Amino acid sequence: MAPAGLRYPFAPPELGAATEVAEGVLWMRLPLPMALDHVNVYALEDGAGWCIVDTGFDSRKSRALWEALLAGPLAGRPVTRVLVTHHHPDHIGLAGWFQGRGAELITTRTAWLMARMLVLDDQPLPTPETLAFWRGAGMDPALLEQRAQERPFNFTDAVAPLPLGFTRIAEGGVVRIGGRTFDVRIGNGHAPEHATLWSREDGLVIGGDQLIPSISPNLGVYATEPLADPVADWLESCARLARFADEGQLILPGHKLPFHGLPTRLRQLIDNHHGALARLEVHLATPRTATECFPALFKREIGPGDYGLALVEAFAHCQHLWHAGRATRTRRDDGAWLWQMKA
Ligand SMILES: [Zn+2]
């Protein structure tokens, strides 16, 4: 039997409005100042208040939109809990702000530690380790020179301070929200210890950026953990989570549209990377730096706005082939790694 395609039962809500996607579950959007111009957030009825899922960036605009949502679709009832799927700023940005207004923060230990560490790590300029990592990835020398003088993106630019204290969720755990019992299953690769929540009652699945339609989440290596293999982590997570996927589930993703068809989608998310790795194997018949692999990996021109994400993703795919024992790497005189397939 041919696998069913993806189905999208709802059109996106306007900014400041909400769409009910399941009983007691509202879908809302907040703007992002990037090519991916929105993040999805959800509010689940939870006793006398709401449990919200993810928050958007901390910005004046996001706070004003939340005020409008709280007074409008959320009917003035309090946000008692904030569940954060992973540590990225578009998801955890306003968690501390909600905590300041009395909400409990629920997330994984790694997500909380990463966010709390990064929010305290003020960097006026890129660290020497980051510069060395960019050089290792073969960043264009003129761009490297320019970025070395510029203040990099700091978590504090888009994430409110996180007060001490959170409630941990972990693989195999359970969270009760309103009338639903959710099983917690952890994914990796896009963000370490990314939570997904699977309702036992009605097939509602909170997917964050782990379970997402139409865009493939960024898998990147950074100076923080330069030998990481996020491609392996991602492929392992997709295969493991696929065991729990069925056609009837409604997936609530962190971006784009709620969808049915998770078994198909997980297959696509795996195949995308196998396809990219196969193209890379051909491309690495001759030794190349990670940035020289953009044409093989991305089917579009990489502009200045995409360069950073493309660099960490290209590095991740080269390094995956090296971890798998299929490629070698050698340092060029300028510090860049050259990757090449073994004969
Ligand atoms: Zn993310």
Q: How remote is the CA of residue 343 from the centroid of ligand 1, in Å?
A: 36
Q: Two tokens at 193?
A: 């210890």
| Structural domain harbouring 127 | 19-137+155-282
Predicted confidence at residue 4, as pLDDT, reads 61
Estimate to the nearest angstrom the gap between the alpha carbon of 280 and the chain centroid.
23
Q: How remote is the CA of residue 24 from the centroid of ligand 1, in Å?
A: 25
Q: How remote is the CA of residue 190 from the centroid of ligand 1, in Å?
A: 6
DSSP string, 275-314: HHHHHHHHHTTS-B-SGGGHHHH-SS---TTTHHHHHHHH
In a domain, residue 86? The reply is yes
Q: How remote is the CA of residue 153 from the centroid of ligand 1, in Å?
A: 15
DSSP string, 178-189: TTEEEEEEEE-S
In a domain, residue 313? The reply is no
Q: How remote is the CA of residue 209 from the centroid of ligand 1, in Å?
A: 5
Q: Where are the alpha helices (DSSP H) in the chain?
A: 60-71, 89-92, 95-100, 109-120, 128-136, 141-149, 230-242, 262-283, 294-297, 307-323
Cα dihedral 292, 293, 298, 301 in deg (nearest 10): 10
Residues 6 or more apart whose Cβ sits within 8 Å of residue 219: 189, 190, 230, 231, 234, 273, 313, 316, 317
Helix and strand totals (H; E) in the chain: 10, 14
Over the stretch 250-281, which tens digit does the pLDDT of each residue have? 999 999 999 999 999 999 999 999 999 999 99
pTM, full prediction: 0.96
Q: How remote is the CA of residue 8 from the centroid of ligand 1, in Å?
A: 21
Inter-CA distances, 237 with 9, 234, 240, 241, 283, Å? 26, 5, 5, 6, 27
Q: How remote is the CA of residue 32 from the centroid of ligand 1, in Å?
A: 12
Q: Two tokens at 53?
A: 């899922």
Q: How remote is the CA of residue 91 from the centroid of ligand 1, in Å?
A: 7
Q: Two tokens at 331?
A: 């340092």
Question: In CATH, what number is assigned to the domain containing residue 241?
Answer: 3.60.15.10
In a domain, residue 14? The reply is no
In a domain, residue 338? The reply is no
How far is the C-alpha of 30 from the C-alpha of 63, rounded, in Å?
10
In a domain, residue 101? The reply is yes
Q: How remote is the CA of residue 150 from the centroid of ligand 1, in Å?
A: 24
**3-class SS shares of the chain: helix, strand, coil, % to 5:** 35, 20, 45
Q: How remote is the CA of residue 86 from the centroid of ligand 1, in Å?
A: 7
In a domain, residue 13? The reply is no
How far is the C-alpha of 82 from the C-alpha of 94, rounded, in Å?
9
How far is the C-alpha of 25 from the C-alpha of 255, rounded, in Å?
16
In a domain, residue 329? The reply is no
> What are the residues facing 31 on neighbouring strands?
38
Q: Two tokens at 140?
A: 């264009």
Domain count, the chain: 1
CB-count exposure of residue 236 (10 Å: 0-12, 13-18, 19+): middle
Q: How remote is the CA of residue 333 from the centroid of ligand 1, in Å?
A: 35
Predicted confidence at residue 34, as pLDDT, reads 85
Q: How remote is the CA of residue 70 from the centroid of ligand 1, in Å?
A: 24
* Positions of the chain with pLDDT lower than 70, given as ranges: 1-4
Q: How remote is the CA of residue 254 from the centroid of ligand 1, in Å?
A: 8
Count of other CB atoms within 10 angstroms of residue 330: 10
Q: How remote is the CA of residue 285 from the centroid of ligand 1, in Å?
A: 33
How far is the C-alpha of 126 from the C-alpha of 250, rounded, in Å?
41
Q: Two tokens at 78?
A: 């309090």
Over the stretch 142-155, which tens digit does the pLDDT of each residue have? 999 999 999 999 99
In a domain, residue 324? The reply is no
